[in-house]
């Protein structure tokens, strides 16, 4: 059963945020976009005021120039209207494109770039009247409606008060020459636009954090949703544990099967065992074919003895190899010297068993760097092994 809104009190996970972004659900502030577009458009008109004033005067004079012949011809009037319309479009269209680009840039800056067609794909579920009524009276819709109503009331009040305060200025335009009238009317309108922009800026400063908060609230998750997502991402814990156990079992079988071909096994009395193999024709250094701790170490020892592979007691070297060497990899360079001593001892022992050389004495002291012995590091715990 889906969790209720009261149960969703946990922040959205990164996975849910990413999914919402793919679905086109990102933070968007309309008020911020409106403010930026109108501000840039107004600033452009102010910066180009002399050119716009001259162009407007010329356009107005051309539009009001008539003669008897032109008045009598309806085709001429239609052509004149089309001509004036195209001339106005040369100003209106570039300005509109500029404002649109600014609005898009501000939107991207607020919520990031998202390329998806999901928001425009048909969704017949939205045609359900019941769900439509629910959305109509939702918290987000009520907040947006209230905000839009307050903004419209404030802008209308500012506009009415400004017009009332400057009614005489607008009336005096009728007594001025056309260029002066356009200039005077433009300056009065710019003053009113600045007041409206201040109101839009105040709403934009409030709307952006509000939209971020509402977006985060919409995406909140319940404990059940978070647990379900964790299962989907990480998988069932029991299934994963069984898979890991199966993988370790397979690796152990493969590893134990390679012990009869090893040259020797190095171990300490009970805890660690490492089987090594060296072929000077194929390997640049001795390679670890098996390693283990506790029960696996005992298995390695037993298989080695039954396969007549020499087993040497070298506790420090066994611990260092177990901690720093990987199965099917060559031993670390720092242990070359110690392993070479052990291999030389084994080769001499094998030769002695055939009667070719005298029997060697005890295994000499091995050259194992102290920093490679894990017992010298606090907190060392052997890897988990499976019987």
| pLDDT tens readout for residues 367-378 | 788 888 777 665
Which parts of the chain have pLDDT scores under 50? 1-3, 383-387
Beta-carbon contacts of 284 under 8 Å, excluding residues fewer than 6 positions away, are 330
Give one DSSP letter per residue of 59-79, joined into a string: HHHHHT---HHHHH-HHHHHH
Residue at token pair 């171990």: 267
Give yes or no for a contact between 357 and 348, defined as CB atoms under 8 angstroms apart: yes
| pLDDT tens readout for residues 42-74 | 788 777 777 776 777 777 777 666 666 666 666
C-alpha to C-alpha distance for 173 and 185, rounded to whole angstroms: 7
Give yes or no for a contact between 252 and 386, defined as CB atoms under 8 angstroms apart: yes
pTM, two decimals, is 0.44
Supply angle C-alpha 121, 122, 127, rounded to 5. 140
Determine which helix (DSSP H) or strand (DSSP E) holds 291, and give its type and residue range.
Answer: strand 287-293
Give yes or no for a contact between 159 and 196, defined as CB atoms under 8 angstroms apart: yes
Class of residue 205 by CB neighbours under 10 A (exposed 0-12, middle 13-18, buried 19+)? middle
Beta-carbon contacts of 118 under 8 Å, excluding residues fewer than 6 positions away, are 22, 23, 24
Supply 242's token pair: 């069984």
Give yes or no for a contact between 348 and 258, defined as CB atoms under 8 angstroms apart: no
Give one DSSP letter per residue of 271-284, joined into a string: SEEEEEE--TTT-S
Structural domains in the chain, CATH included, are: 26-218 (no CATH), 257-376 (3.40.1690.10)
C-alpha to C-alpha distance for 256 and 385, rounded to whole angstroms: 13
Query: Looking at residue 246, what is its pLDDT?
Result: 85
């Amino acid at each position: 059963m889906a969790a209720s809104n009261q149960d969703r009190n946990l922040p959205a996970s990164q996975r849910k945020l990413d999914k919402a972004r793919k679905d086109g659900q990102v933070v968007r502030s309309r008020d911020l976009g409106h403010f930026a577009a109108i501000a840039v458009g107004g600033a452009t008109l102010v910066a180009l005021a002399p050119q716009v004033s001259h162009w407007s005067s010329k356009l107005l004079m051309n539009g009001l120039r008539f003669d008897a012949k032109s008045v009598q011809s309806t085709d001429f009037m239609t052509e004149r209207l089309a001509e004036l319309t195209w001339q106005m479009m040369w100003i209106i269209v570039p300005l509109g494109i500029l404002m649109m680009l600014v609005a898009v840039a501000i939107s991207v800056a607020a919520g990031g770039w998202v390329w998806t067609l999901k928001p425009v794909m048909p969704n017949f579920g939205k045609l359900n009247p019941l769900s439509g009524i629910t959305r109509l009276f939702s918290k987000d819709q009520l907040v947006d409606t209230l905000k839009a109503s307050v903004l419209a009331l404030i802008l209308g009040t500012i506009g009415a008060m400004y017009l009332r305060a400057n009614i005489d200025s607008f009336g005096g335009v009728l007594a001025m020459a056309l260029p002066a009238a356009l200039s005077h009317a433009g300056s009065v309108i710019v003053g009113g636009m600045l007041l409206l922009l201040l109101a839009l800026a105040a709403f934009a400063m409030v709307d952006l954090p509000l939209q971020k908060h509402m977006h985060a609230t919409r995406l909140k998750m319940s404990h059940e949703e978070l647990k379900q997502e964790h299962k989907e991402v990480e998988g069932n814990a029991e299934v994963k544990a069984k898979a890991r156990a199966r993988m370790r079992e397979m690796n152990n079988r493969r590893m134990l099967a390679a012990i009869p071909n090893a040259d020797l096994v190095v171990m300490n009395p009970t805890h660690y065992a490492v089987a090594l193999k060296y072929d000077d024709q194929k390997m640049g250094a001795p390679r670890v074919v098996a390693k283990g701790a506790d029960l696996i170490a005992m298995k390695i020892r037993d298989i080695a003895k039954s396969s007549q592979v020499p087993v040497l007691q070298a506790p420090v070297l066994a611990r260092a190899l177990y901690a720093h060497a990987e199965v099917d990899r060559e031993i670390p360079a720092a242990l070359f010297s110690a392993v070479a001593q052990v291999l030389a001892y084994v080769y001499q022992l094998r030769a002695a068993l055939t009667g070719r050389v005298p029997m060697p004495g005890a295994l000499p002291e091995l050259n194992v760097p102290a920093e490679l012995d894990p017992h010298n590091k606090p907190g060392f715990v052997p890897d988990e092994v499976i019987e």
